[in-house]
């Protein structure tokens, strides 16, 4: 909400500039986001009298104008001709600045005539979005030679206020003025001229009948007759523009101006376009049609509230008027609506129609049910003043404003919550400043002295004691509150699942991977990639492509790899942890996953042969991760199928339970998603690993006697799995086994085709003695015998 | 004979000391102590001497041998070191060549900020609590005093999921829902923080994402006051942003707290003077307030007995400010050129 400071000072004539008060207002509850000076770009523009208007010698479009600024005559070229000799206009002299031009004005040759400066339109000055002609000033308010900034008050400041949904009273100049008054002590004043009424009785002209008091507790109307052709004063237009509203006509501007000033939305009906003199407020019939004044045909439901004449609906209550009864240039007589509509009713209708107006914005948040008359009076008065016409006596009305709420506050409770002493006198002082009536005569009924506060209609937010306590805290200032750190009486900590995920992150960072965070949405293609059909659909996705919640982390990583590669970064090792979502019947199941992806070259060094990341890099990282997470009893199973490579991937098992997948992506899957080369990846269900992770460790004492190392190389068929040979060696070695490490894999001459050599370093040791040949020979023989038997292997060296 | 021995000693020592190489020293040793050396000859002649002379000369021979052996060893060590030093010169390496660095990982900036914040609060005795990201309407809204027609509930602001028979399910809009779940599962005192992902229906732009992270805090106990809130957040701000930081509270509205406040921290970059990060010297950091009595009642707590405070911190906001990241979308892009800059940050 924009609040023009000079306007506010008409109600609370504080001597402070807006910029001086901005921080103080913010700290006491009026959040000033910015102090604007919308017209600071206007400099050296002077009110000047037009002396002569002549045709341009060379151009049909241009007019040569001679103006007098009180110091002398000056010649200017203009592109429009909506003025005549004697008119007062804003003349921007050479050296002047106007908001639409980046540079100060300089004399300029225009078709052979040197133009000294320019005559300005309202838009060029930033005071109204009107560019159809030069601004012709009202001779009664300005004099030639006067600086335009001073003449029109363009040195004004404008507060840009963030209005929170609980304080709709700040959606008006008066509402903010009340708060400024409470905070500065400057009293509120009312400098508006009194409303003059004609002899005609409004209630004789129009009748109001509310058939839905639950949606419209009160409705009043004024009748204004004999409206003419007057225009809105330029200062009022400038204020409307500064508040973000477009000046339209004197009648409409009057309703908007009054709304901005007092917070009460008004609607002007053309009295003669209403069928009959009566207004009926009723619920819509299901499917009832109405064309709103924006020209759109709307279909109503039976929950909507309509304003009707005796024949048909003429407005959607609190949202927008109908096209048939709209005021226009020919309007002479107006019925001016000032009503109170319930918040939820307007909110539902506006939301359903996706139709949000200044009026609906205010009604949804709550208007002052006691402010109808003041709003109607001000609107009628401005309308009559700006467009001519007379205001009929009194109101046409129905319904009544609801009684005021009474809420009480215990000073003792305020003291307890705010942790400083708030005596009753302070509480009363706060509500005096807020101009709220209070009464402490109820005394103490057992749980502390009470102050009963009568809540005015515009404070829709105050319902409970704690709301009053907030008023006390806010007005006295949050800086009154001390600081104290509460004793928690417990050790802080994190749950097991949280710690486990943190450890996974740390393990992967330690393994050299870069942590990423990605969006949690997934496309249909992502689900297809993992073969999942149980994704959770998003009902109202931002983009049709992101219509699901992710079922796995892997697709996001694949896209991240492709994005990096597209930027010329081919090599990366990245990982993510996070939630994935699957639908189990009607239940959304959330699981914590960890996944990583390795793409491009595995490191780069001038004396190392470069090689791409492959599946064994992934199993290596997996090994480090599961070791760090103390997940024992792990092994790799069969290839998991798509989206993985048929021969370079495996299911990760703990015991016999699958906990994840590891390996290279299927080349087609990678290629189709823009990934170059191999991409090795892994995804694990952290929630499945947590229960099987060892909580702690019981050490085995390191052997005191040195091990004996025997290197054994076996020739086996190419399709024999090294892991199985290793398992056989470990099995045969029994208790004496220390370590068994595969240190060489060799193919080629002199070996037969289709065979390979696997060389293992086998370390044997005993806990109680140094081993001799007598100890180790039988073990080595047993190993050789078993490997040769199980794999049709041949000992090559050993 | 003794004189000859003495002369031979001097000659041999000089010979050793003048040896330029180990080979030369070897030759010197043969020359001075070998079978055909003068020294050897003298030694061999001992047998022909009478016992007194033999004892005297024999002693002198032994002394000279010891001296020669020491001189030989000393010279050999020097020559060996010289020879090794010569080899080391040849073994020189260009130390400016790239080292063999192991691959270095990096934590995501959001993880770094979250962990720091969690460490501060756990050190104060808060416990981490977690909750589901797909929440139901009651936990996400109603229990938090956000009535059915509150603007925050429109389809415009929240992301809903399509689950048959469950129109009430949505992606949580605040981690505050964890407050409710925590209070439903335990009696006061409650001191928890809930870090996690939250969702809003916001089109991504430099300052908005539909998915972002918060840390929610909740303290409920008998006699918790606004001063407890202020004190806790001041400790947090100092721990996160430096001991010189001050905090500033201004009124703000959140449906689940009353009184509510917005908390600003004096800028960690300019110390409150005003700079391009903060503008005004203050950084609006989080929303907070005293837990609304209706929220306590919704969880079965007696608001006359138990009072509490709650706060919510945007993790992205801290990361963007602290690391001067110009666009929030960079945080979820997975651009390793950005993320690898965090290798030095833990």
How far apart are the C-alpha atoms of B173 and B216, rounded to whole Å? 12
A753 CB within 8 Å of a chain B CB = no
Q: Which of A164, A541, A542 sits opposite B253 (nearest CB)?
A: A164
A463-477, pLDDT tens digit by residue? 999 999 999 999 999
What does residue B13 show for φ and ψ, rounded to 5 degrees? -60, -45
CA A406 to chain centre: 36
Q: What pLDDT band is residue A795 in, cutting at 50, 70 and 90?
A: very high
Mutate one of A515, A568, A594 to test the B interface: name it (highest B CB count within 10 A). A515
Q: How far is the CA of A199 from the CAs of A387, A398, A494, A615, A765, in angstroms?
A: 19, 21, 78, 95, 118
Q: Which of B97, B164, B337 sits opposite A586 (nearest CB)?
A: B164
What does residue A755 show for φ and ψ, rounded to 5 degrees? -125, 165
Q: Is A495's CB within 8 Å of B128's CB?
A: yes
Instruction: Count the Cβ atoms, other than its own, within 10 Å of residue B123.
Output: 12
SS (H, E, C) A488-531: CCCCCECCHHHHHHHHHHHHHHHCCCEECCCCCEECHHHHHHHC
Q: Is B130's CB within 8 Å of A511's CB?
A: no
Give the three-class secondary structure for A253: helix
Distance (Å) from the alpha carbon of B97 to chain A's nearest alpha carbon: 9
Q: Is A474's CB within 8 Å of B133's CB?
A: no
The segment with the largest mean pLDDT, out of A142-156, A497-511, B71-85, is A497-511
**What is the pLDDT, as a whole number, of residue A392?**
96
**Would you mind telling me the total number of residues written for chain B in this entry?**
346
Distance (Å) from the alpha carbon of B165 to chain A's nearest alpha carbon: 7
pLDDT, chain A, mean: 93
Q: Is B260's CB within 8 Å of A351's CB?
A: no
Give the three-class secondary structure for A179: helix
Q: Which of A481, A495, A505 sits opposite B107 (nearest CB)?
A: A505
Specify whether the CB–CB gap between A434 and A471 falls below 8 A.
yes
Tokens found for residue A683: 């995804």
How many contacts, defined by CB atoms under 8 Å, are there between A and B? 255
- Which positions ≥6 away from B249 have C-beta within 8 Å? A478, A479, A481, B230, B261, B262, B263, B264, B288
User: Is residue A59's pLDDT more than 70?
Assistant: yes
Distance (Å) from the alpha carbon of B62 to chain A's nearest alpha carbon: 45
Give the three-class secondary structure for A3: strand
Start-to-end Cα distance in chain B? 82
A99-130, pLDDT tens digit by residue? 888 888 888 888 888 999 999 999 889 888 87
Specify whether the CB–CB gap between B176 and B208 falls below 8 A.
no
A332 CB within 8 Å of a chain B CB = no
- Mean pLDDT across the stretch A373-397? 95
Distance (Å) from the alpha carbon of A561 to chain B's nearest alpha carbon: 8
Establish how many alpha carbons lie within 13 A of residue A534's alpha carbon, considering only the half-sphere containing its beta carbon: 12
**Torsion of Cα atoms, A758 then A761 then A767 then A773, to 10°:** 90
SS (H, E, C) A158-189: EEEEECCCCCHHHHCHHHHHHHHHHHHCCCCC
- Please, what sign has the CA dihedral across residues A246, A251, A257, A259? negative
Tokens found for residue B81: 């070191």
Specify whether the CB–CB gap between A758 and A713 falls below 8 A.
yes
Residue in chain B closest to A486 (alpha carbons) equals B228
Q: What pLDDT band is residue A431 in, cutting at 50, 70 and 90?
A: very high
Specify whether the CB–CB gap between A712 and A798 falls below 8 A.
yes
How far apart are the C-alpha atoms of A113 and A93, rounded to whole Å? 16
Residue in chain A closest to B105 (alpha carbons) equals A512
Residue in chain A closest to B126 (alpha carbons) equals A492
A489: exposed, middle or buried (C-beta count within 10 Å: 0-12, 13-18, 19+)?
exposed
- Nearest Cα to Cα of residue A67 among A91, A83, A44, A96: A91
Instruction: Count the Cβ atoms, other than its own, within 10 Å of residue B330.
Output: 17
Phi-psi category of A517—alpha, beta or left, where left has phi over 0 and alpha has psi -120 to 50? beta
Q: Which of A31, A567, A586 sits opposite B163 (nearest CB)?
A: A586
**What is the pLDDT, as a whole number, of residue B52?**
86
A544 CB within 8 Å of a chain B CB = no
Q: How far is the CA of B286 from the CAs of A478, A727, B117, in angstroms?
A: 15, 57, 13
What does residue B174 show for φ and ψ, rounded to 5 degrees? -150, 155
Q: Which of B125, B149, B203 sits opposite A542 (nearest CB)?
A: B203
**Beta-bridge mates of residue A522:** A548
Chain B neighbors of A536, CB-CB under 8 A = 134, 161-163
Lowest model confidence (mean pLDDT) among A300-309, A513-522, A568-577, A602-611: A602-611
Q: Beta strand pairing status for B190-199 and B282-291?
A: unpaired
Q: What pLDDT band is residue A445 in, cutting at 50, 70 and 90?
A: low
Q: Is B160's CB within 8 Å of A538's CB?
A: yes
Q: Is B258's CB within 8 Å of A466's CB?
A: yes
Q: Is B103's CB within 8 Å of A603's CB?
A: yes
Q: Which of B132, B134, B259 sits opposite A469 (nearest CB)?
A: B259
**Beta-bridge mates of residue A737:** A764
A732-759, pLDDT tens digit by residue? 998 889 899 999 999 998 899 999 999 9
A563 CB within 8 Å of a chain B CB = yes
Q: Is A417's CB within 8 Å of B223's CB?
A: no
User: Is residue A248's pLDDT more than 80?
Assistant: yes
**What is the pLDDT, as a whole number, of residue A624?**
96
A574 CB within 8 Å of a chain B CB = yes
**What is the pLDDT, as a whole number, of residue A301?**
94
Q: How far is the CA of A638 from the CAs of A348, A659, A727, in angstroms?
A: 57, 13, 17
A554 CB within 8 Å of a chain B CB = no
The DSSP letter of residue B168 is T
Q: Is A418's CB within 8 Å of B227's CB?
A: yes
Specify whether the CB–CB gap between A317 and A307 falls below 8 A.
yes
Specify whether the CB–CB gap between A247 and A232 falls below 8 A.
yes
**What is the pLDDT, as a whole number, of residue B279?**
82
Residue in chain A closest to B234 (alpha carbons) equals A483
CA A447 to chain centre: 43
**What is the pLDDT, as a whole number, of residue A191?**
83
Tokens found for residue A446: 């057992």
Residue in chain B closest to A470 (alpha carbons) equals B259
How far apart are the C-alpha atoms of A720 and B15, rounded to whole Å? 69
Along chain B (346 residues), what's the average pLDDT of each consecutive run of 10 residues? Answer: 85 91 91 86 85 86 90 93 91 91 94 97 97 95 88 73 92 94 95 96 92 96 96 96 93 94 91 84 93 96 96 95 93 96 89
Phi-psi category of A683—alpha, beta or left, where left has phi over 0 and alpha has psi -120 to 50? beta
Tell the residue number behind the tokens 């009430």, with chain if given: B168
Residue in chain B closest to A30 (alpha carbons) equals B251
A754 CB within 8 Å of a chain B CB = no
Mutate one of B167, B198, B226, B303 to test the A interface: name it (highest A CB count within 10 A). B226
How far apart are the C-alpha atoms of A252 and A383, rounded to whole Å? 8
- Which positions ≥6 away from A352 have C-beta within 8 Å? A301, A304
H helix intervals, A269-371: 343-353, 358-365
Tell the residue number behind the tokens 């009568």, with chain if given: A454
Specify whether the CB–CB gap between A360 and A236 falls below 8 A.
no
Instruction: Count the Cβ atoms, other than its own, within 10 Å of residue A285.
Output: 13
Q: At what angle do helices B315-323 and B109-123 cross, to 10 degrees?
A: 110
Tell the residue number behind the tokens 């949804």, with chain if given: A364
Chain A neighbors of B293, CB-CB under 8 A = 464, 466
**What is the pLDDT, as a whole number, of residue B148?**
82
The interface predicted TM-score of the complex, written ipTM, equals 0.89
């Amino acid at each position: 909400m924009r609040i023009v400071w000079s306007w506010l000072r008409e109600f609370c004539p504080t001597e402070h500039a807006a910029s001086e008060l901005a921080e103080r207002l913010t700290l006491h509850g009026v959040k000033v986001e910015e102090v604007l000076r919308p017209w600071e770009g206007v400099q050296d523009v002077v009110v000047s009298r037009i002396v002569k208007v002549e045709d341009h010698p060379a151009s049909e479009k241009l007019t040569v104008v001679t103006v007098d600024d009180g110091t002398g005559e000056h010649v200017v070229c203009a592109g429009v001709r909506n003025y005549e000799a004697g008119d007062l206009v804003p003349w921007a002299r050479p050296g002047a600045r106007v908001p639409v031009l980046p540079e100060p004005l300089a004399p300029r040759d225009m078709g052979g005539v040197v133009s000294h400066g320019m005559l300005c339109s309202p838009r060029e000055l930033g005071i109204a979005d009107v560019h159809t002609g030069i601004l012709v000033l009202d001779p009664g308010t300005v004099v030639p030679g006067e600086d335009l900034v001073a003449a029109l008050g363009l040195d004004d400041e404008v507060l840009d206020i963030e209005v929170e949904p609980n304080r709709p009273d700040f959606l008006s100049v008066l509402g903010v003025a009340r708060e400024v008054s409470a905070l500065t002590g400057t009293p509120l004043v009312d400098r508006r001229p009194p409303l003059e009424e004609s002899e005609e009785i409004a209630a004789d002209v129009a009748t109001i009948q509310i058939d839905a008091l639950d949606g419209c507790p009160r409705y009043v109307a004024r009748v204004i007759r004999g409206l003419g052709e007057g225009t809105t004063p330029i200062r009022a237009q400038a204020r409307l523009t500064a508040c973000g509203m477009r000046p339209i006509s004197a009648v409409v501007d009057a309703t908007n101006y009054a709304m901005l000033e007092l917070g009460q939305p008004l609607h002007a009906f053309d009295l003669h376009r209403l069928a009959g003199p009566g207004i009926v407020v009723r619920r819509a019939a299901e499917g009832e049609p109405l064309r709103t004044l924006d020209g759109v045909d709307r279909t109503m439901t039976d929950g909507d509230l309509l304003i009707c004449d005796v024949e048909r609906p003429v407005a959607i209550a609190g949202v927008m008027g109908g096209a048939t009864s709209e005021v226009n240039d020919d309007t002479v007589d107006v019925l001016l609506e000032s009503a109170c509509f319930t918040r939820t009713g307007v909110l539902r209708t506006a939301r359903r129609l996706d139709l949000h107006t200044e009026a609906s914005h205010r009604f949804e948040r709550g208007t002052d049910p006691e402010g109808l008359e003041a709003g109607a009076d001000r609107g009628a008065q401005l309308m009559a003043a700006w467009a001519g016409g007379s205001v009929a006596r009194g109101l046409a009305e129905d319904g009544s404003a609801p009684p005021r709420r009474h809420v009480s506050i215990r000073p003792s409770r305020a003291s307890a919550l705010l942790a400083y002493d708030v005596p009753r006198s302070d509480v009363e002082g706060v509500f005096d400043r807020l101009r709220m009536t209070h009464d402490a005569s109820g005394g103490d009924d057992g749980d502390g002295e009470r102050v009963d506060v009568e809540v005015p209609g515009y404070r829709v937010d105050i319902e409970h004691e704690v709301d009053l306590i907030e008023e006390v805290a806010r007005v006295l200032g949050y800086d009154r509150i001390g600081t104290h750190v509460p004793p928690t009486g417990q050790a802080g900590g994190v749950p097991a699942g949280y710690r486990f995920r943190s450890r996974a992150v740390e393990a992967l960072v330690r393994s050299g991977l870069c942590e990423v965070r990605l969006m949690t949405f997934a496309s249909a293609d992502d689900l297809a990639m993992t073969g999942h059909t149980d994704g959770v659909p998003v009902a109202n996705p931002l983009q049709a492509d992101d219509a699901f919640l992710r079922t796995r982390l892997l697709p996001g990583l694949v896209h991240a790899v492709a994005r990096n590669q597209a930027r010329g970064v081919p090599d990366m090792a990245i990982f993510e942890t996070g939630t994935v979502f699957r639908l189990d019947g009607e239940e959304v199941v959330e699981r914590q996953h960890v996944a990583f992806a390795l793409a491009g070259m595995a490191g780069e060094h001038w004396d190392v042969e470069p090689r791409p990341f492959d599946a064994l890099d992934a199993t290596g990282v997996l090994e480090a991760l599961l070791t760090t997470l103390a997940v024992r009893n792990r092994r790799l199973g069969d290839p998991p199928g798509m989206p993985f490579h048929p021969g370079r991937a495996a299911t990760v098992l703990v015991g016999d339970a699958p906990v994840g997948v590891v390996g290279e992506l299927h080349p087609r899957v990678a290629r189709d998603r823009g990934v170059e080369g191999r991409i090795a990846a892994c995804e694990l269900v952290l929630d499945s690993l947590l229960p099987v992770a060892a909580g702690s460790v019981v050490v085995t004492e390191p052997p005191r006697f040195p091990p004996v190392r025997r290197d054994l190389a076996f020739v086996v068929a190419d399709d024999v799995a090294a892991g199985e040979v290793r398992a056989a060696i470990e099995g045969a070695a029994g208790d004496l086994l220390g370590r068994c490490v595969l240190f060489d894999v060799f193919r080629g001459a002199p070996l037969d085709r289709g065979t390979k050599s696997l060389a293992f370093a086998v370390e044997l040791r005993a806990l109680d003695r140094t081993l001799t040949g007598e100890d180790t020979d039988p073990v080595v023989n047993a190993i050789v015998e078993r490997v040769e038997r199980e794999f049709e292997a041949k000992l090559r060296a050993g | 004979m003794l004189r000859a021995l003495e002369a031979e000693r001097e000659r041999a020592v000089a010979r050793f000391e003048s040896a330029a190489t180990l080979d030369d020293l070897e030759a010197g040793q043969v020359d001075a102590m070998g079978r055909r050396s003068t020294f050897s000859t003298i030694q061999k002649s001992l047998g022909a001497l009478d016992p007194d002379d033999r004892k005297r000369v024999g002693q002198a021979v032994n002394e000279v041998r010891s001296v020669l052996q020491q001189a030989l060893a000393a010279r050999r060590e020097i020559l060996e070191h010289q020879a090794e030093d010569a080899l080391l010169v040849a073994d020189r390496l260009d130390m400016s060549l790239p080292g063999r660095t192991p691959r270095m990982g990096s934590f995501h900036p959001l993880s770094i900020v979250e962990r720091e914040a969690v460490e501060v609060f756990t050190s104060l005795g808060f416990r981490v609590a977690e909750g589901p990201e797909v929440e139901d309407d009651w936990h996400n809204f109603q229990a938090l005093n956000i009535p059915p027609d509150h603007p925050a509930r429109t389809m415009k602001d929240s992301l809903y999921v399509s689950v048959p028979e469950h129109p009430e399910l949505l992606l949580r809009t605040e981690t505050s829902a964890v407050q409710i779940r925590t209070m439903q599962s335990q009696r006061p005192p409650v001191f928890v923080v809930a870090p996690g992902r939250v969702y809003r229906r916001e089109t991504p732009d430099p300052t908005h994402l539909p998915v972002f992270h918060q840390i929610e805090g909740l303290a409920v106990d008998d006699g918790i006051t606004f001063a407890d809130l202020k004190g806790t957040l001041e400790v947090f701000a100092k721990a996160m942003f430096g001991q010189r930081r001050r905090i500033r509270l201004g009124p703000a509205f959140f449906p689940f707290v009353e009184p509510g406040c917005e908390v600003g921290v004096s800028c960690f970059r300019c110390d409150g003077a005003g700079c391009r990060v903060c503008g005004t010297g203050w950084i609006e950091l989080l929303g907070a307030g005293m837990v609304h009595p209706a929220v306590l009642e919704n969880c079965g707590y007696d608001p006359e007995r138990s009072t509490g405070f709650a706060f919510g911190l945007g993790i992205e906001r801290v990361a963007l400010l602290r690391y001067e990241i110009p666009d929030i979308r960079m945080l979820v892009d997975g651009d390793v050129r950005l993320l690898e800059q965090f290798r030095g940050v833990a």
